[in-house]
Every structure is written in structure tokens, then in C-alpha cells.
Amino acid sequence: MAPESQPMFDTDEIVLNMGPQHPSTHGVLRVVLRLDGERVVGSDVVIGYLHRGIEKLCENRDWTQIVLLTDRMDYVAAATNNVGYCQTVEKLMSIEVPRRARYLRTIMCELQRIASHCLWLGTHAMDIGAMTVFLYAFRERELILDLFEEYCGARLTYNSMRIGGLPLDIPPGWDKKVLAFCDIMDTKLVEYEQLLTHNRIWLERTKGVGVISAEEAVAIGLSGPPLRGSGVKHDIRKDEPYAAYDEMQFEVPVGEAGDTYDRYLVRIEEFRQSVKIIRQAIEGLPEGPITGKVPRLIKPPAGETYHAIESPKGELGYFIAADGKSTAPYRFRVRPPSFCNLQALPRLIQGHLVADVVALIGSVDVVLGEVDR
Amino acid sequence: MIDAIVLPLLKILVVLNAVLVGVTFMVLLERKVIAWAQARLGPMRVGPYGMLQPIADVLKLMVKEDITPAKADKWVFTAAPMIALIPALIVFAVVPFGPEVSIFGRRVTLAITDLNVGLLYVVSVTSIGVYGIILAGWASNSKFPLLASLRASAQLISYEVAVTMILVSMVVSAGTLSMAGIIDAQYQQGVWYAFAQPLAFVVFFIGGLAETNRAPFDMPEAEQELTGGFHTEYSGMRFALFFLAEYANMIVVSCVATTLFLGGWLQPFPNVSALSFLGFVPGWMWFLGKTFVFLYVFLWIRATLPRYRYDQLMRIGWKVLIPLGIANVVVSAVLKVLL
Amino acid sequence: MTSGLITFYAVGALIVVFALLVVTSRNTVHSILYLVADFLAVALLYATMNSMFVATIQILVYAGGIVVLYLFVVMLVKQKSESELASDPRRRNVIGGILVAAVLGELVVLGVSNAISPAAPSVNAPGGVENVAMALFTDYLIPFEVVSILLLVAMVGAIILARREI
């Protein structure tokens, strides 16, 4: 729009376009805001800029090839997507995954949870102005990426799971390195909390911002930390355990007020719980095979199934329909947590100031790869 | 003739050069300090440990293409950065860098001049600097820079009130508006005003942070919000001038804070004869050292704290700092009369 | 022609030139900028007359405060373009002519009365801090307080007028 033709005070609302290229929308997200002065009176979230047709592509790939497509959805925590997909197919084909593989999958998922939360913390803090936390969080994320690079050779998109288990066993000494990382992470968490949790400016920017009640959260279909931040104690790892989670002791942090500050606290506590789970899993890591009995040609029987796991962003679900005849799924559908959580964004930013919009996008923690697929 | 014309011109030359070079190296200092706080090294390639980085930056900015928006007001667009920078430089005319020294047998005061209303001069000249920001936003002929510049200037004039209140209480304590006089008063009273008036010190520093649009009060120029704020449309040397103006303002606030609160060029404990060996270090070195401490704290705060939202920022200025400033004036005046 | 007189005429010329630019410039923002320059020149005049205090106050209050707010208003309110202004040139000329005549008449009266009985110049430094302060708080105390209350009333009134009912 030509700014000079817009009279400044003739109407009360101005339309502000944030993105798709914007330093704070965490990807190619476009939010069109209708502002009254500085207050948001309405908004429109436009997605689809990162749509690559993954679901359709999967209909032409065989079951093992799909694993590397799932990496590209939530590219911040790629191994989680792999695990979710493989488990769904294993459910469809009733394949039993050996214990060692389940433990290793747990370890990988929790490492990814820490990596994803590191990225969330860094970008969320940087949007609110605390630049230093960004560098600190990425320093820890680099350690995790190094661990994964040692395991499977890649830093971001791992292709690290197969139907029935894992393709590779962990290299020798890897578990000691993971334990050393856990020790480092514990000390660094103290640093992050010192910088933010009781900082008056942080509190003023996040307390009371973007409040969503428990009933609303359930009604909108939120999952993950946004849901738990509003007081609903729902975590798929506890309610419908998968991998080795039924053998792990951990707590599920739940918030009270449903504002940005509670979502922040929930995720910080999830850091700690993830470290706890990883330690238990490494110490209890059983010996054994890393792949179950899987036929050479993977051809699930005709049928459909839905399986969900708790990814760092929320409930990541896969719906797969196989027709029993071809080596590709008939329908491959993903329930991405970011997509469903993003639906809450217009409701969250209603009535807030423009500066809060950025904080709220960070608080919902979306990754556009998963929203658009 | 020499005293009236040549000496002041020489002083102006020296101070201007020092300030401009200082401002350029502030850019490097900021990047280095923030980098070290963030567990990284900062610029390292140009020159040893990146020391020549500012020269590279200046050269780059000078050879950049000079873009003026299509319907922008050419003269105002060009003048705005100058209007932002010039007041910041003029203020140094009253800053006392050191006591009277002998150079080549001549008594020379290490200050360009000493107005008897020096402090008031500082305040009035910095209030002209607001025009640079307003005009920059307007001259860009685009909605976002205009809104950002209005917000930035509203922030500046709000905090000007709080800072002026503090300056008034310092004037009450010292009994004079002249900068050299205030240093003298701290010498006579034997205490740096940072200790005699700690509240004023804190309020002044916070106000100084807000006046210079530095974190945590830098919402108007936060890149994440309105894409660069009031200097969005500026590129090349004009953009550099805005940056230099911001750093020059920081140095001004630091120099004024040093003069008012840390005793200027006085050594620590000037009245204690046991510590008079500290007089070995010349006054201007003490002054620069103290100014540097303030500048470092500016950078440290930027690396550490998140930023305030604009309405919270204005609330702090109007509802917290101004009442505190007024209370400080009243209490200082009462104590001055009673004691 | 002493140097003092030369400075006075030079600064005076600056003031007049800027004032003319204020009223003849077509662009409102340019007008305001010339007004700022005009006020700065007036401050310069005060400075040459040894009244540094009044000069700095002139800059601080007029150039640095009041005109900034003029600028805000001008920028935020859509200006009528030239064609929408009063399209009746005769009315414009008549009103303008009356106002100019009034101002010129006042100047003439002042000049004549000053020539008949010139005012005695002040004895001490007219604009020094101490003198102004003494005058404000002794001779002119009541007007000072009244003006403060007036400003307070103006501020409260502006806030009430501008505030929107939520």
C-alpha cells in the first residue's frame, strides 16, 4: 500500500503486515494485524509459504524412504518425527521393537526435546531483547548436534530411525559423552534461569501476556507446553507411553495461569526432566539387537492407524492408510502440533500490543516446516 | 590573541577529533564487549584482534550507494542525521576534562570553555537532538519510520524531564550550574555526589539509558518490531551518522555522569593526604577512566537485559522516575537549607 | 560601529531572514524548521547580550520543547493541500492586510514611544541566573505561581480532551 496516500488519522485502524520475511516470525509466517493505535483488534495468520507437498510425496515413496521426508517437517527436532513415523508403521504391521532400540529411541527423543527447547529459549529471549541467552542456548544445542553427528553423520536431518528399530548402533563412548552433556546441561540451566526467570523486565514482558484458560486450550486443540501451561496435565509420554517411557521416572510440569511466563516455566522444567530421563535411559541401557523382525520388503497389511507421540512442540500424530498392495502408503497424513497450536495465535494476540505479538509467536513455539509440510 | 582565538580553536580541534575517533571505536567496543558476554570473540579479522574493524566499517559505509526514497524530502532527509549528530558533539564544549595544567609554560584549562550555566547548556543542546530523530522518520515518507520516530522522540522528551529534575537537585547540592564549579564543589565538600545522592545517581543513569535509546529502553529501534525503526530508509554514510550520534550521546551522558557524580577529574579521596600519590595520574586520565566505566556499564546492560515494551517504558519514565526526581529535588533542597 | 553593534545587526538580520522564510515557505514542516532556526538565532542574540541563562532557556523551552510538539501535530494531522485552502483570494488578502496593519501599527507605536522616552538600560547583567531567580521569586512570585497553575490546567485539560473512553 502506498503510505503517502493513507491518511493518518481518518480511520482508527491501520493494517500492519508482519512477514513472511520478518526477523521474528520464526520462519515464513505471515501475520496480518489490524491495529487500533498500538493494540491488536484483529489478525489473520497466513501460512503455506513452506508447503512442499510432503504428504503427497510420501504417496510415491516406499516406506523406508519416507523416513527422510519426515525429517524435514519439524526440522528443529528431526529424530522425533522419525520415531513417530516408524512407530506408526510398526503399529500397523504389529512389529515388536527390541528393548535396546526403544531405549535408544527414548534417548534420541529426549535429546531432541532439549535441542528444540534450546532453540525455542534462544529465539524467544532474543525476540524480547535478551540477546545473550540466544548465544548460550545455541552453544548447548551445538553439543547435541555434535552428538548426533557422531551417531549418524548429520546435524539437522538425521534419517536416524528405521521401521523396527535403528539403522546403526551407537558408537563406543557415545553414552559417556551423553552423560557428560547432561552434567553440562544442568549447570547451564542454572545460568539461563539466572538471566531470565526472576528478571523484572522478563516478568513484566511475559506475565499476564497471552492468557489462555484450560477449557479454551482443550477446545482449540492445543497440545504440548501451551496446553500444559494452562493447567491441563496431559502428556502422551505418561498417558499413552511409547518407546521406553513406561520404564522411566519423570514428572510432567504443569503451569497455572496459562500466560507466556507459565509456558516458559513449563519448558524450562521440561529441560530438567529430559536430562533426568536421559540419565536413567543411559544407565539402564540394555544390550541386545537394535532392530526387530522386519520383513525385507515392507508391505503393511491393508488398514489404517493413527499413532501420536509427544514431540517437543506437542502432540505429533501420524495417520497412515495402507492398501496392502503397493509399497507406498495410500494416505499419509500428519497431525503437526505447530499447526494446531498456531490456530490459537489470533485468539492469543487479540487485545495485546504489537510488541507482545512477537513474544506470543515465540511462546507458542511453531516451526513452519511442520505447519506447512 | 592566542588566548582568545588560537587556544580555543586548538582545544576544539583536539576534542572533536578525540570524540569522533572515540565514537568510531565505540562501535568496535560494543561488538567486542557484547561478543565476550555471549561466549564468542567478536570481530577478529581486520587488524590484530579486530582492532581496525572500525576503519573497515567506515570505508564500507562511505562507498555504499546513496539511496534516497523517491518522494522523500531531499533537504530534510539529508539534514536529519546531521541534526542528530551536531548537538551531541557541541555538548563537549562545556565538559571539563581536567584541571588547569601548564603546557609550554602557559596555564591552560582542559575544557573548551566554562559557561556559568554549563549544565543547562548541556540539557538544552541535547534537547535539539530530538529533531534529528523526528525529521528522519518524517523525511523517509513511509509509515513505519514515522511511527517509530514519533515513539522514539516521545520517549526522549519524557525522560528529559526526569533527567532535568536530577540535574536540578545536583545544582542545589553544588550551588552552581557550571560544570567545573560542580567538580569544585565535590572537592570542597569532600564527597563524590554518587555517595551523597545515590538515588539521583541511579535515576540519572536510568534516564541516560532511556535518553540514548539504549537497552533496555531501545524498543523504538529494535529490529524485531518495526524493521529498524526511524532509520529504516537510511543507508551508507547517513545511516552511519545516526549510529555515531547514538554513541556520541552515550559518551555525553557518561561524561556528564562522571562530572556530576564521580567527581570528574578528581582523584579518589582528593582531600586525604595519605592517598595523594594518586595525583601522579593526571586528572584527564581519571576522567577518561571513569567515563569508560560508564560506557562499559552501558554495553554490559545491553548484553544482559531484555527490553521493555513501549508502554512499560513510558510508564517507568512518567510514573516512577519523575516523581522520584521531584522528591529528590525537594529533599536535597531541604537538606541543603538545614545542613 | 563597535563590534557589539555589528554582531547585533548581523544576528538581527538572521532573525528577520528566518522569520520571512517561516511565513513564505510552502511546506509546513519547512516552516517549522525555519522557526527553530529563528529561535536559535534569538538565543544567539541573548547570548551576545551576556544573558546565557535566558539563551539556554530559550533553546531548551522554545526550540527544544514547544516547537517539537508543533512538529508532532503537523506530522500527524493530514495537511490540506494548497487547492483546498480558502479559495477566495480577496478574503485572504483582506484579513491578511488587517493583521499586518495591526502588527505594523504596534511596532510604530513602540518605536515612537521609545524614541520619545527611551527606557533605562538595566544595571546588572540582565539575564544571569541569580538575577532572574531573585526577580522570579520576589517581585514576580505571584505571576510565576499563576502561570504554573495555568500550565497545569492546560495539561490536565489536554489529557482529558485526548483521552478516549475505554
Nearest CA in chain C to A12: C164
pLDDT of residue A119: 92
Helix, strand, coil share of chain B (percent; to 5): 75, 5, 25
Tens of pLDDT, residue by residue over B229-240, are: 777 777 778 888
Identify whether C67 is part of a domain: yes
Nearest CA in chain B to A16: B144
Identify whether A13 is part of a domain: no
Identify whether A1 is part of a domain: no
Interface touch A355/B215, C-beta < 8 Å: no
Interface touch B218/A129, C-beta < 8 Å: yes
Identify whether B120 is part of a domain: yes
Contact A73, A369 (CB under 8 A): yes
d(CA B202, CA B316): 13
Identify whether B151 is part of a domain: yes
The sign of the dihedral angle between the CA atoms of A202, A203, A205, A210 is: positive
Identify whether B6 is part of a domain: no
Residue C19, φ and ψ in degrees, nearest 5: -60, -40
d(CA C100, CA A2): 41
Identify whether A332 is part of a domain: yes
Per-residue pLDDT of chain A (373 residues; tens, 9 = 90+): 334 444 444 456 778 888 787 766 678 888 888 888 778 888 899 988 889 999 999 889 888 888 988 888 888 888 999 999 999 999 888 888 899 999 999 999 999 999 999 999 999 988 888 888 999 999 999 999 999 999 988 888 888 888 888 888 889 989 899 999 999 999 989 988 888 888 889 998 888 888 998 998 999 989 889 999 898 899 999 888 888 888 888 889 998 888 899 999 999 999 999 999 999 999 988 888 888 888 888 888 888 899 999 999 999 999 999 888 888 889 999 999 999 999 989 988 888 888 888 888 888 888 888 888 8
Rg of chain B, C-alpha, whole Å: 21
pLDDT of residue B24: 87
Identify whether B158 is part of a domain: yes
The residues near A349 (Cβ < 8 Å, ≥ 6 apart) are: A31, A33, A40, A43, A210, A356, A357, A360
pLDDT of residue C118: 60
The cell numbers describing A133, all together, are 541467552
Give the mean pLDDT of B96-110. 78
Interface touch B223/A23, C-beta < 8 Å: yes
Contact B52, B46 (CB under 8 A): yes
d(CA A123, CA A139): 13
d(CA B83, CA B131): 7
Identify whether B171 is part of a domain: yes
Identify whether A15 is part of a domain: no
Confidence of residue B180 (pLDDT cuts 50, 70, 90): confident
At A45, is the secondary structure helix, strand, or coil?
strand
Q: Which of C60, C71, C129 sits opposite B134 (nearest CB)?
A: C71
pLDDT of residue A2: 39
Identify whether A302 is part of a domain: yes
Structural domain span for residue C4: 1-78
Interface touch B76/C64, C-beta < 8 Å: no
A-B CB pairs within 8 A amount to 75
Identify whether B282 is part of a domain: yes
**C11 at the B interface (CB within 8 A)?**
no
Identify whether A56 is part of a domain: yes
ipTM above 0.85, yes or no: no
pLDDT at B108 over 80: no
The number of domains in chain C is 2
Which DSSP symbol is given to B276?
G
Interface touch A10/C76, C-beta < 8 Å: no
Calculate the average pLDDT of chain B: 84
The number of domains in chain B is 1
Nearest CA in chain C to B114: C52
Interface touch B130/C68, C-beta < 8 Å: yes
d(CA A87, CA A85): 5
A-C CB pairs within 8 A amount to 8
Q: Which of B116, B128, B150 sits opposite C59 (nearest CB)?
A: B128
Q: What percent of chain B has pLDDT over 70?
A: 94
pLDDT of residue A5: 41
Task: From residue C162, give the alpha-carbon distance in Å to each of A34, A57, A370, B147.
Answer: 22, 58, 46, 18
At A70, is the secondary structure helix, strand, or coil?
helix
Amino acid at C154: A
Identify whether C148 is part of a domain: yes
Structural domain span for residue B283: 62-338
Query: DSSP for C4-55?
Result: HHHHHHHHHHHHHHHHHHHHH-SSHHHHHHHHHHHHHHHHHHHHHTT-HHHH
pLDDT of residue B339: 78
Nearest CA in chain C to A4: C78
**C105 at the B interface (CB within 8 A)?**
no
Identify whether C108 is part of a domain: no
Tens of pLDDT, residue by residue over B81-94, are: 888 899 999 999 88
pLDDT of residue B112: 81
Identify whether B32 is part of a domain: no
At C139, is the secondary structure helix, strand, or coil?
helix
Q: Which residues of A touch C78 (CB under 8 A)?
A: 7-10
d(CA C66, CA C70): 7
Q: Which of B124, B138, B146 sits opposite C60 (nearest CB)?
A: B124
Tens of pLDDT, residue by residue over C111-140, are: 888 776 665 555 555 556 777 788 888 888
**A13 at the B interface (CB within 8 A)?**
no
The number of domains in chain A is 1
Beta strands in B75-231 (DSSP E): 98-103, 106-110
Interface touch C75/B138, C-beta < 8 Å: yes
Contact B105, B149 (CB under 8 A): no
Kindly report the number of other CB atoms within 10 A of residue A10's CB atom: 7
Which residue of B74, B77, B128 is the best one to mutate when testing the C interface, meaning the one whose CB has the most C CBs within 10 A? B128
Any idea what the CATH number is for the domain that residue C16 is in? 1.20.120.1200
Any idea what the CATH number is for the domain that residue A312 is in? 1.10.645.10
Nearest CA in chain C to B164: C60
pLDDT of residue A9: 44
Per-residue pLDDT of chain C (166 residues; tens, 9 = 90+): 677 888 889 999 999 999 999 988 888 888 899 999 999 999 999 888 878 888 888 998 888 888 988 888 887 775 555 555 556 777 778 888 899 899 999 988 888 887 766 655 555 555 567 777 888 888 888 998 999 999 999 989 988 887 765 4
Taking Cα atoms as reference points, which of A134, A333, C132 lies closest to residue B40?
Answer: A134
Structural domain span for residue A177: 52-368
Tens of pLDDT, residue by residue over B135-160, are: 888 887 777 777 778 888 888 888 98
Interface touch B128/C30, C-beta < 8 Å: no
Which residue of C76, C78, C166 is the best one to mutate when testing the A interface, meaning the one whose CB has the most A CBs within 10 A? C78
Which DSSP symbol is given to A256?
S
Identify whether C132 is part of a domain: yes
The sign of the dihedral angle between the CA atoms of C41, C43, C47, C48 is: positive
Tens of pLDDT, residue by residue over B9-49, are: 888 898 999 998 988 888 899 999 999 988 888 888 888 88
Rg of chain C, C-alpha, whole Å: 20
Q: Which residues of C touch A8 (CB under 8 A)?
A: 76-78
Identify whether B24 is part of a domain: no
**B40 at the A interface (CB within 8 A)?**
yes
d(CA A241, CA A248): 10
